Amino acid sequence: MTDMFSPQERSRIMSRIRSRGNAATELRFIRILRKNKLAGWRRNVLLVGKPDFVFPNARLAVFIDGDFWHGNPEGFRLPKSNLAYWRKKIASNRKRDKTVNRRLRAEGWRVLRFWQSRLANENCVVRRLCRLLDLAPRGAETKP
């Protein structure tokens, strides 16, 4: 289907659309944290790359990466139109993610990234978090 607007008009229309962020994904992650009584996290901490969640005491920065915007290799498909733009956009997002990871690690932070779609596997998310927070997974038996 061809676009009914000229490229200039389409650009003007698109420039007026504002991001709503990934609020639903972050709220889902918060529900996981609260349900499993994982405390000590903060949001909106001013760090390189603006992590979605930070566990300051553990020096752990957590990012929830959107499957589309960060190019999740499992099931990611580029749009059929404007292919060059989208390839460049996703590649630059991935490159920025790697740069942010390196910079945070150089500053003594550990970095954990979850794909948005992986939040569906709550047990896996909790296990990974607990491992990096040096906690026993909730519901796990303690050794005598």
Q: What is the mean pLDDT of residues 119-126?
A: 95
Residue 138 covered by a domain: no
Q: pTM of whole model > 0.85? A: no
Per-residue pLDDT at 28: 94
Residue 37 covered by a domain: yes
Residue 2 covered by a domain: no
Per-residue pLDDT at 138: 54
Residue 66 covered by a domain: yes
The CATH number of the domain holding residue 45 is 3.40.960.10
> What is the domain count for the chain?
1
Strand order in the sheet with 110-115: 53-55, 60-65, 110-115
Residue 143 covered by a domain: no
Q: What is the mean pLDDT of residues 26-33?
A: 94
Rounded to a whole number of angstroms, the CA Rg of the chain reads 19
State which residues form the domain around 36. Answer: 22-132
- pLDDT, tens digit (0-9, with 9 covering 90-100), for 70-113: 989 887 888 888 889 989 999 999 999 999 999 999 999 999 99
